[in-house]
Amino acid sequence: MRHQCRHPLQGLSRRHRRLSGPEDGGAAIGQLEPDRGYAKMESILQANPDIKGVISGNDTMAMGAHAALAAAGRKDVIVVGFDGSNDVRDSIASGGIKATVLQPAYAQAQMAVEQANDFIKNKKSPAEEKQLMDCVLINGDNAAKLETFALTN
């Protein structure tokens, strides 16, 4: 598993254990490749034919999972990704994937450059070492405003 995928997956697993309700159909690591997401989704479908939804740690895996579900005729299974990619935006718009969670990568990069510049020029560090930025749920209501990992007005 690549490092950048650990935190969302750990958060999903931790939250899932705390909530009562749906039974866990399984977890799979697909290493950010749609063909692996496809293969992992096929395995999960075989083991859990009554699956109702899929939460993917990234949009690339969500695309692979959605393709496997479509090939199996399972248009009833809800797929949600995580990243806010244009490919998933297009899938949302066409009625495929249900949603994605936009990580504000563009804004994160801008903030990093500004903070690095401030440190280099003024030797000033951010007030807090850990900084949080809100994510945004992208669905059919706002998918048209998503472009290259950022929302437009």
| Extents of the domains making up the chain | 33-103+135-151
* pLDDT value for 29: 57
Cβ neighbours of 126 (radius 10 Å): 12
Q: Rounded to 5 degrees, what angle do the CA atoms 153, 62, 9 make?
A: 95
Q: What is the pLDDT of residues 8-44, one digit of tens each?
A: 555 555 555 555 454 555 555 556 678 888 999 999 9
Between residues 103 and 53, the one the model is more confident about = 53
Taking CA atoms, 124 is separated from 55, 112, 114, in Å, by 39, 13, 11
Both tokens of 120, joined, read 């280099």
Q: What is the pLDDT of residues 114-151, one digit of tens each?
A: 989 999 999 888 777 778 888 999 999 999 999 988 88
Cβ neighbours of 64 (radius 10 Å): 24
User: Which region, left, alpha or beta, applies to residue 148 given φ > 0 means left and ψ of -120 to 50 means alpha?
Assistant: left
- Average pLDDT value for the chain: 83
Using a cut of 0.95, tell me whether the model's pTM lies above it: no
Fold of the domain built from segment(s) 33-103+135-151: Rossmann fold (3.40.50)
* pLDDT value for 3: 40
